[in-house]
Amino acid sequence: MSLETIVIGLIALAVGAAFTFWGFRFFLLLLPIWGFVFGFILGADAITYLFGDGFLSTTLSWVIGFVVALLFAALSYLYYWFAIVWIGATAGYALGTGIMAWLAPSAGILEFVIGLALAAVFAVIFIVLKLPKFLAIAFTAFGGAFAVMSGIALILGRVPIAQVHQGTVGMYVQDSLSWVWVGAAVLLGIVGFFYQWMATQGTAFVAYSDYRNPGMASEAAGGDDRGTRERPM
């Protein structure tokens, strides 16, 4: 087990736990972190499938991964609407690659294509539904829970770092205890969902029509210059 495996496992564990239990409350703060993590995976993934190298086995995959990660983190911080769509896209990508890893482990670039296709579908769904509070909590809780289990699986050496490109859903499908990881992730997601729901009762959420840069002052009607406006749920 390499040092980078442990580091990536710890990052997945920390970011996943934050999203599982505080994803909705600290939404704007966590969005760029989510953008960075999954931007890194997507960038490194693209190099893997384009050149046929192992995941993160070359310097180029690390460099492209970091470049894409920084780009997506910046966009997620500067543009709230982008971050919302990106969350939906990452959920679809993780699900698509996970399903392909389960059904056709040697699908190759088809796995990448299916992941991108489901990413587009989920992104559209998030745009159409405008991400109400229920969906925000559900996706952060369960997405974070699967990331937590992926991090633990990496740290314990149950899965190799090469399987990170199969997403948080598909990382441990070929492990002999895959059902344990999936079951634990689902249970943790349920706990995280109800914890977030109870902890945010009576709070407001950012209105879909107010997608603006949360890192810069923006002008709003009536002299409201906050980065976001709140609306009761």
Give the separation between CA 229 and CA 220, rounded to whole angstroms: 9
Listed by start position, the domains of the chain span 3-232
How far apart, in Å, are the Cα atoms of 221 and each of 67, 206, 214, 225, 226?
A: 37, 16, 16, 8, 11
- pTM for this one? 0.65
The C-alpha angle 23, 29, 35, rounded to 5 degrees, equals 85
**Residue 14 confidence (pLDDT) above 80:** yes
**Which of 90, 76, 63 has its CA nearest to residue 35?**
76
> pLDDT tens digits, residue range 34-71?
788 888 878 887 887 777 777 677 788 888 888 988 98
- Token couple for 157: 């050496």
What is the predicted pLDDT for the residue at 180?
83
Residue 165: pLDDT band with limits 50, 70, 90: low
Q: Which range, of 93-107, 165-179, 204-218, averages the lowest pLDDT? A: 204-218
Structure tokens at 127: 């745009």
Rounded-to-integer distance, Cα 95 and Cα 11, Å: 20
Copy the structure tokens of residue 147.
Answer: 């990331």
Identify the pLDDT of residue 189.
Answer: 92
Q: If you average pLDDT over every residue of the chain, what do you get?
A: 75
